[in-house]
Amino acid sequence: MNVADRFEEYLEHLASGLGHADRHERLRGYCTGLMLPLARKSVEPMAARVDPVHASARHQSLHHFVAKAEWSDEQMLRRVCQWVVPKMDFSEGAWWIIDDTGFPKKGRHSVGVARQYCGVLGKQDNCQVAVSISLSCSQGSLPVAWQLYLPKEWIDDDERRLKAGVPEAVRFATKTEIALQQLRHLLAQGAPKHCVLADAGYGVDTEFRRALTEMGLEYVVGVTSAVVVWPPGVEPLPAAPYSGRGRPPVMPRRTPELQPMSVKSLAMSLPASAFQTISWREGTNHTLSDRFAAVRVRHAGGNSGKARLRAQQWLLIEWPHGQAEPTKYFLSTLPEATPLNELVSAAHQRWRIERDYQDLKQDFGLDHYEGRGWRGFHHHAALCIAAYGFLMAERLTAEKPIGGKKNFAIRALPDLPKDYVPRGSPARSASCTDVNHVLAAPAEL
């Protein structure tokens, strides 16, 4: 079976969850358009390339399919997983990777757009932000859950919600709460309990880490240098005896000699011998390595250290050669016997979700959707992930590497008709030969 035949089989697998049969051809057209090497992968240029002779009609058809049709983006992602995940090799480990990505936008009408932090720009600006979870192994990773974050100003604006088609059931949730909802939903559907990876934007949230533990999930998450812990060998005194009134005390007592400290202070106090140079993977040009130390600590609560006694866990510290101080800190509930190189490898698996975002945006037009509605935003993302998933499955099963995404067989461009004019171009004047000079007969009185 050649690549084109496998692509058709894949589309049939996805289409079986779409409902109406007329959506099958639209699914084929949209996914094919996303896989073509177009500069812009919004609906109109894709329609023009997929069906040049009937570009206008195909544009309307694809626009309705992505923006209006009532099919489930969640079901689409599930079917992508059913195709791709069996081809992934988890013998060397598996991880759930949580992150979010931004889409710079102008105006105020695109669903979820607001002035907020945009990682793409590295600053506060007008953008949309979506939270996702990817399933990762040593070969690659695949997004399996995707949801737009709605700021409070959107949640409280009934008029904008109605225009954008935000479901009534959607209520305000922080990004960490969205991620936890996604994880709970995946586990409820029977997903395995893999180790969770996340950056400091999620890792500093004590309730987020506690919820992961309650779900039975181990984690390796980034934290900031200000997080406070009880250092190795320092055990606080038990909470004060209960007086019989009010709530029983839970916060450990401390003395001048028994005090928690920030992870930065702890790292700076460690001897040089505590750090080892560890390599974690082959980069594009060289092997990636750095200096690391790992110690067993107890989290003492936020930046103030006022919390009940927590279980011991790993504090992983990354201190690059030549730097005046450490640059990264991680808390992890991986087993106490976990070797340092495995802690480092797990912590640095999170780069894969950044690669997901990069490929989805650069090669599959994830950030090219021009609609304003909730349904279209999620449908477009699910279809981008579907196109990405097929090429990932091909790469995972190929005996030899296929010729790169841009040389993929399906990505050949059909020619545009000579008289095609993109939407928004100046109107064309009709030529004299196209004008009918026959005057209409005067109306009879």
Residues 227 and 264 in one domain: yes
Mean pLDDT of 179-203: 97
Q: Which helix or strand (DSSP H or E) is residue 279 part of? A: strand 276-282
What distances in angstroms separate CA 41 from CA 7, 60, 94, one per listed residue?
Answer: 19, 15, 32
**Secondary structure (DSSP) of 80-144:** HHHHHGGGS--TT--EEEEEEEEEE--SS-STT-EEEEETTTTEEEEEEEEEEEEEEETTEEEEE
Rg (CA), the chain: 27
Say if residue 441's pLDDT is above 80.
no
Mean pLDDT of 271-290: 89
Higher pLDDT, 400 or 229: 229
Pair of tokens at residue 189: 């559907």
Residues 301 and 173 in one domain: yes
Residues 64 and 127 in one domain: no
Where do the DSSP E strands lie in 169-286?
Answer: 195-198, 219-223, 228-230, 261-262, 276-282
pLDDT at 412: 47
Whether residue 355 lies inside any domain: the answer is: yes
* Mean pLDDT across the chain: 87
- At residue 415 the predicted structure's pLDDT band, cuts being 50, 70 and 90, is low
The model's pTM is 0.86
Question: What is residue 290's three-state secondary structure?
Answer: strand
Question: CB-hemisphere CA count at 13 Å for 407?
Answer: 4
Residues 60 and 138 in one domain: no
pLDDT at 302: 56
| CB-CB contact of 417 with 53 (8 Å) | yes
Say if residue 338's pLDDT is above 70.
yes
Question: What is residue 388's three-state secondary structure?
Answer: helix
Higher pLDDT, 245 or 86: 86
| CB-CB contact of 327 with 318 (8 Å) | yes
Strand partners, 197: 97, 220
Pair of tokens at residue 117: 């932090």
Higher pLDDT, 343 or 248: 343
- At residue 235 the predicted structure's pLDDT band, cuts being 50, 70 and 90, is confident
* Entry field: residues in the chain: 445
Whether residue 335 lies inside any domain: the answer is: yes
pLDDT at 236: 77
The number of distinct structural domains making up the chain is 2
| CB-CB contact of 318 with 348 (8 Å) | no
Distance CA 46, CA 422 (A): 11
Question: What is residue 195's three-state secondary structure?
Answer: strand
Mean pLDDT of 301-324: 81
- At residue 314 the predicted structure's pLDDT band, cuts being 50, 70 and 90, is very high
Place of tokens 């506690």: 210
Whether residue 437 lies inside any domain: the answer is: no
Looking at this protein, which amino acid is placed at residue 30?
Y
Give the number of other CB atoms < 10 A from CB of residue 63: 20
pLDDT at 417: 52
Residue 145: closest CA among 89, 192, 201, 77: 77
Whether residue 442 lies inside any domain: the answer is: no
pLDDT at 233: 85
pLDDT at 307: 59
pLDDT at 301: 75
Say if residue 295's pLDDT is above 60.
yes
pLDDT at 203: 97
Residues 47 and 149 in one domain: no
Residue 205: closest CA among 235, 165, 174: 174
Residues 97 and 229 in one domain: yes
Residues 133 and 38 in one domain: no
Whether residue 425 lies inside any domain: the answer is: no
pLDDT at 243: 76
Write the burial class of residue 269 (CB in 10 Å: 0-12 exposed, 13-18 middle, 19+ buried). Answer: exposed
DSSP character at residue 303: T
Whether residue 367 lies inside any domain: the answer is: no
Say if residue 335's pLDDT is above 80.
yes
- At residue 245 the predicted structure's pLDDT band, cuts being 50, 70 and 90, is confident
Of all residues in the chain, what percent carry a pLDDT higher than 90?
71
Say if residue 306's pLDDT is above 70.
no
Distance CA 51, CA 87 (A): 32
pLDDT at 247: 79
Whether residue 209 lies inside any domain: the answer is: yes
The residue among 295, 329, 360 that closes a domain is 360
Give the number of other CB atoms < 10 A from CB of residue 127: 22
Say if residue 130's pLDDT is above 70.
yes
Mean pLDDT of 13-41: 91
Domain that holds residue 114: 88-236+253-360
Say if residue 44's pLDDT is above 90.
yes
Distance CA 196, CA 211 (A): 12
Residues 141 and 18 in one domain: no
Residues 114 and 216 in one domain: yes
Residues 109 and 143 in one domain: yes
- At residue 348 the predicted structure's pLDDT band, cuts being 50, 70 and 90, is very high
Residue 100: give its domain's CATH number: 3.90.350.10
Say if residue 191's pLDDT is above 70.
yes
Residue 266: closest CA among 208, 313, 225, 207: 225
Say if residue 411's pLDDT is above 70.
no
Residues 206 and 276 in one domain: yes
Residues 53 and 104 in one domain: no
Say if residue 363's pLDDT is above 80.
yes
Give the pLDDT confidence of 366-406 residue by residue, as tens digits.
Answer: 999 999 999 999 999 999 999 999 999 999 988 444 444 44
Pairing, β 114-118 against β 123-137:
antiparallel
Whether residue 441 lies inside any domain: the answer is: no
Say if residue 286's pLDDT is above 90.
no
Say if residue 445's pLDDT is above 80.
no
Mean pLDDT of 113-133: 94
Pairing, β 195-198 against β 219-223:
parallel
Looking at this protein, which amino acid is placed at residue 277?
T
Pair of tokens at residue 37: 């090497």
Question: What is residue 382's three-state secondary structure?
Answer: helix
Say if residue 430's pLDDT is above 50.
no
pLDDT at 323: 95
Distance CA 148, CA 371 (A): 14
Pairing, β 195-198 against β 95-104:
parallel
Say if residue 14's pLDDT is above 60.
yes
Pairing, β 328-332 against β 312-318:
antiparallel
pLDDT at 155: 95
pLDDT at 303: 52
Sequence-separated (6 or more) residues with CB below 8 Å from residue 102 = 116, 117, 118, 119, 120, 121, 127, 128, 129
Distance CA 249, CA 69 (A): 56
Mean pLDDT of 45-51: 93
